[in-house]
């Protein structure tokens, strides 16, 4: 069966990021003010980096349709959606003021987009100069201006809109439009992560006319991007066609079609049959066989967006005792877990995964990733001399999640004969509710999204963070988080984060275990990238990829 033509109407939800306060699944970087050392280099329009040497794209787009299984989402309004599919799909038709590009996953560069330059005269002022040649798609058919930027930011930050990211714009003091090509944002105080928000793939610009067309909930994507959105059938099919008046070079594809193949075996069959050009999430244990079956496909090995967690409820005894948390971390054999659960395809991780090397701790700083049963037993005996029962569990339908709970049971029960570990196989809805909302658990295993910026981690581990699911509280940690969020100078901020990492690793509010590698494949296309920041790759590929033939 040609799965492209099959009309798929089933829905599948992803793990909701209740209270995460995250910037996408990964989504942010910081550029310091002009008086400070920039945290990441800026990619100028004349020097766009390339991941690997590839042939120069021909100026004439190939008369072929680029396809992949990417129609899984729930709504078509980028400002109101929190489904990661919405963020990805929007990149075909919508642009941002500023963007992030990744020559290799985690290697982050800023680059202009609808603003062709940025001035920062002080630590609270951002002056964006709007390019003059960016046109909106039909039926708007006019140039993008600073008024559209103001409207877009105000819409994203409006409480009445129920935007899941309106808190991102809490630092804003004002939006100013001195003329049609100048847009000024002023913040209330220096905010180290604010440019992260501007460059994030969620932060897309729209035309105010679309409210007149669709009302408060948008039905399709109308923007200034490289493709017009011709069909937007949620969770089923999307069609995008090349926008002839796109302001930048490209795109080099005539048409993109997205469908939704929920069954991974069926998706692999569609790739083998040449019905789709990209596929993600090939399991490590079948990767070599998949490559043999698709010898002309290009492998993309990238860090997973998820990092393994052993989440311990710091508000319950005995997990409110740091010695117990340290003992549990020392008792588990994470390299062995990684071998069994990820086919050995992964790497150890702390609170921030190592691909985000500006902030991530080094392996030598991970105190508890080398199992030490003797030290673990010593700590546990001192903290809990008599036996006790641990209730743990995870999503039963995800092997690596529930497998982590089973490995935890084996390691802890081997430590002391008077420890009993009960493993519960949960439905995804129950897992989400208990971990993120009610906090009704002893220990839960699974994955969290890898923070690529300290501000994202602050939401998880500050005592007042909306996403603090363990109940961890440490006044020194709170103070360090608050200080780093206002420290624009990169070197100073990095020193603060180093202090934070040492405390968080030592106190183990959550034990971060390992990050698996993800294996994706593409075929018949050049200049195709995968990214560590979700949707950065879709944004790049829609604008820069092209058919080999």
What secondary structure does DSSP assign to 340-382, as a single string? Answer: HHHTT-EEE--SS-TTSTTTPPPGGG-TTSS--HHHHHHHHHH
Hey, is 288 helix, strand or coil? helix
Q: d(Cα 191, Cα 376) in Å, to the nearest integer?
A: 41
| 456-500 per-position pLDDT tens digit | 899 899 999 989 999 999 999 999 999 999 998 989 999 999 999
Task: Give the DSSP letter string of 30-78.
Answer: ----TTS--SS-B--TT----SS--PPPPSSPEEEEEEEE----S-S-T
Work out the average pLDDT over 246-253.
94
Give pLDDT, residue 5.
Answer: 37
Q: What is the mean pLDDT of the chain?
A: 87
CA distances from 1 to 7, 266, 355 (A): 12, 9, 39
Q: Who's near 479: CB < 8 A, 6+ residues apart?
A: none
- Bin 413: left if φ > 0, else alpha if -120 < ψ < 50, else beta: alpha
20 alpha carbon, distance to own chain's centre = 12
| pLDDT at residue 38 is higher than 50 | no
Of the two residues 388 and 163, the one the predictor is more confident about is: 388
- 155: number of CA atoms within 13 Å, CB side? 25
Query: Per-residue confidence at 275, pLDDT binned at 50, 70, 90?
Result: very high
Phi/psi region, residue 235 (left: phi>0; alpha: psi -120 to 50; beta: rest), is left
Please classify residue 453 by burial: count the beta carbons closer than 10 Å to its beta carbon, then call 0-12 exposed, 13-18 middle and 19+ buried. Answer: buried
Is it the case that residue 18 has pLDDT exceeding 90? no
Name residues whose C-beta falls within 8 Å of residue 35's C-beta, 6 or more positions apart in sequence: none
Q: What pLDDT score was predicted for residue 540?
A: 94
Region class of 322: left (phi > 0), else alpha (psi between -120 and 50), else beta: alpha
Query: Residue 512 — very low, low, confident or very high, per pLDDT cuts 50/70/90?
Result: very high
Could you tell me if 524 and 549 are in contact, meaning their C-beta atoms sit under 8 angstroms apart?
A: yes
Cβ-contact 146, 181 below 8 angstroms: yes
What is residue 62's predicted lDDT score, i.e. its pLDDT?
59
- Residues contacting residue 215 through CB under 8 Å, at least 6 positions apart: none
Residue 77 has a pLDDT of 92
Higher pLDDT, 534 or 483: 483
Pairing of strands 182-187, 125-130: antiparallel
Which residues does residue 119 pair with via DSSP β-bridges, in sequence order?
127
**pLDDT of 55 above 70:** no
**Quick one: residue 210, left, alpha or beta (phi over 0 = left, psi -120 to 50 = alpha)?**
alpha
Q: Can you give the length of the chain in residues?
A: 549
Class assignment of domain 65-227+523-547?
alpha beta
Q: Is the pLDDT of residue 8 over 80?
A: no
Query: How far is it, in rounded angstroms, from Cα 498 to Cα 359?
Result: 8
Whole-number Cα distances in Å, 55 to 105, 301, 531, 545: 21, 22, 21, 11
Given a cut of 80, whether residue 40 has pLDDT beyond it is: no
pLDDT of 34 > 50? The answer is: no
44 pLDDT higher than 90: no
Decide which of 288 and 27 is more confident: 288
- Decide if 466 contacts 19 (C-beta within 8 A): yes
The H or E element spanning position 389 is: strand 388-395
Least confident among 87-91, 338-342, 450-454: 450-454
Find where tokens 């439009």 sit.
Answer: 177
Phi and psi at residue 267, to the nearest 5°: -65, -40
8 Å CB contact between 394 and 446: yes
Residue 98: asked if its preceding bond is cis (omega within 30°), the reply is no
> What mean pLDDT do residues 249-259 have?
95
Reading the block at residue 217, the tokens are 């909930």
- Tell me: pLDDT of 10 over 70: no
pLDDT higher than threshold 50 for residue 12: no
* Cα 367 to Cα 165, 282, 330, 361, 372, distances in angstroms: 35, 31, 9, 11, 11
pLDDT at 398 over 60: yes
Pick 306-517's CATH classification: 3.40.920.10, 3.10.105.10, 2.60.40.10, 3.40.50.300.
3.10.105.10
State the Cα–Cα distance between residues 222 and 144, nearest whole angstrom.
12
Q: Is the pLDDT of residue 526 over 80?
A: yes
The reply to whether the predicted model has a pTM over 0.95 is no
Query: Distance between CA 467 and CA 128 in Å, rounded?
Result: 32
Which has the minimum average pLDDT: 26-30, 263-267, 477-481?
Answer: 26-30
Band of residue 358 on the pLDDT scale cut at 50, 70, 90: confident
What would the two tokens of residue 497 be?
């984060």
Q: Can you tell me which residue has the tokens 């935890």? A: 408
What digits encode the pLDDT tens for the residues 110-164?
Answer: 889 999 999 999 999 999 999 999 999 999 999 999 999 999 999 999 876 777 8
Q: What is the pLDDT of residue 507?
A: 98
Q: Residues 183-208: what's their mean pLDDT?
A: 94
Q: Are 470 and 311 in contact (CB under 8 A)?
A: yes
- From the list 69, 178, 72, the residue with the least C-alpha distance to 127 is 178
Residue 67: closest CA among 8, 137, 3, 1: 3
Question: What's the gap between Cα 134 and its chain centre?
Answer: 28
**How far, in Å, CA of 508 to CA of 510, rounded?**
5
Is the pLDDT confidence value at 195 over 80? yes
The domain ranges of the chain are 65-227+523-547, 306-517
Round to whole Å and give the CA distance between 457 and 10.
Answer: 34
Q: What is the pLDDT of residue 162?
A: 73
């Amino acid at each position: 069966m040609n799965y492209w033509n099959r009309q798929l109407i089933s829905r599948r939800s992803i793990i909701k990021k209740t209270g995460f306060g995250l910037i996408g699944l990964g989504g942010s970087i910081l550029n310091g003010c002009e008086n400070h050392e920039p945290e990441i280099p800026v990619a100028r329009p004349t020097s766009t980096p390339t991941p690997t040497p590839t042939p120069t794209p021909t100026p004439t787009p190939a008369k072929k349709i680029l396809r992949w299984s990417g129609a899984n989402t729930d709504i078509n309004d980028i400002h109101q959606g929190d489904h990661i599919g919405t963020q990805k799909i929007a990149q075909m038709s919508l642009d941002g003021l500023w963007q992030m590009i990744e020559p290799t996953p985690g290697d982050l560069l800023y680059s202009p987009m609808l603003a062709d330059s940025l001035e920062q005269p002080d630590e609270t002022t951002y002056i964006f100069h709007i390019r003059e040649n960016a046109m909106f798609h039909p039926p708007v058919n006019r140039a993008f201006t600073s008024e559209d930027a103001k409207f877009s930011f105000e819409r994203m930050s409006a409480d009445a809109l129920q935007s899941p990211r309106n808190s991102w714009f809490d630092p804003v003091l004002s939006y100013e439009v001195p003329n049609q090509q100048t847009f000024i944002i002023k913040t209330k105080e220096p905010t180290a992560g604010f440019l992260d928000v501007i460059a994030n793939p969620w932060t897309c610009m729209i035309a105010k006319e679309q409210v007149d067309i669709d009302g408060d909930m948008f039905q399709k994507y109308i923007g200034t991007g490289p493709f017009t959105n011709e069909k937007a059938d949620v969770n089923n099919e999307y069609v995008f066609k090349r926008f002839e008046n796109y302001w930048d070079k490209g795109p080099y594809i005539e048409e993109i079609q997205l469908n939704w193949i929920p069954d991974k075996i069926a998706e692999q069959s569609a790739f083998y049959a040449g019905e789709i050009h990209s596929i993600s999430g090939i399991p490590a244990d079948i990767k070599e066989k998949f490559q043999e079956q698709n010898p002309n496909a290009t492998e993309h090995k990238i860090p997973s967006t998820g990092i393994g967690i052993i989440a311990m409820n710091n508000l319950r005894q005995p997990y409110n005792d740091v010695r117990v948390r340290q003992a549990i971390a020392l008792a588990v054999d994470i390299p062995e877990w990684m071998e069994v659960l990820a086919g050995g395809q992964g790497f150890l991780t702390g609170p921030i995964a190592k691909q985000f090397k500006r902030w991530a701790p080094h392996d030598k700083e991970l105190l508890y990733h080398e199992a030490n049963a003797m030290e673990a037993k010593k700590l546990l005996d001192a903290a809990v001399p008599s036996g006790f029962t641990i209730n743990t569990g995870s999503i039963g339908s995800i092997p690596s999640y529930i497998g982590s709970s089973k490995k935890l049971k084996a390691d802890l029960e081997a430590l002391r004969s008077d420890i009993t570990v009960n493993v519960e196989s949960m439905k995804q809805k129950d897992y989400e509710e208990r971990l993120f909302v009610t906090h009704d658990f002893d220990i839960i295993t699974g994955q969290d999204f890898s923070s690529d910026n300290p501000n994202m981690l602050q939401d998880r581990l500050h005592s007042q963070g909306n996403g603090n699911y363990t109940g961890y509280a440490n006044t020194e940690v709170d103070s360090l988080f608050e200080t780093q969020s206002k420290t624009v100078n990169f070197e100073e901020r990095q020193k603060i984060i180093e202090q934070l990492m040492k405390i968080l690793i030592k106190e183990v509010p959550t034990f971060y275990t390992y990050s698996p590698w993800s294996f994706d494949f593409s075929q018949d296309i050049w200049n195709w990238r995968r990214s560590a920041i979700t949707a950065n790759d879709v944004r790049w590929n829609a604008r820069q990829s092209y058919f080999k033939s």
